Amino acid sequence: MRRTLVLAGVYNLVWGAFVVVFPQAPFRWMGLEAPNYPEIWQCVGMIVGVYGVGYLCAARDPVRHWPIVLVGLLGKVFGPIGFIDAALRGTLPWAFGWTIVTNDLVWWVPFGLILLAAWRRAHPPG
């Protein structure tokens, strides 16, 4: 659990910092038009980086700091839902979904297992 949260924390810090410094790079890589207001995308990078700090803090005691993991998992579930909605409406291209895979989907199972461990500790059988 600790390694997972350290990895998530480092990943989020690196990805967030990259997006803050190079906000148009992911769009260029996917062959998409860069946003007119890169500051909005930089704000997303800042939020992702802040999540990274939270994951690193939670890594010290993942079961005790389960609320941080829960908030992270909620973001990693609602983000893809919002993306699918935008892609279906045609306001975001499907190619942008590659960011969902690495930023969200790969963390569902590990974060879910951390939350399950916290639940089991709080509710022992018997």
Look at residue 28 and tell me whether its pLDDT is greater than 80: yes
Q: Averaged over 7-13, what is the pLDDT? A: 98
Which CA distances in Å does 52 have to 46, 49, 85? 10, 5, 26
For the purposes of burial, counting CB atoms within 10 Å of the CB of 36, is it exposed (0-12), middle (13-18) or buried (19 or more)? exposed
State residue 121's pLDDT score: 95
Residue spans per domain, the chain: 2-122
State residue 90's pLDDT score: 92
How many Cα neighbours within 13 Å face the side chain of 21? 7
Look at residue 30 and tell me whether its pLDDT is greater than 90: no
pTM of the predicted model, to two decimals? 0.90
What is the rounded distance in angstroms from the CA atom of residue 94 to the CA atom of residue 83? 9
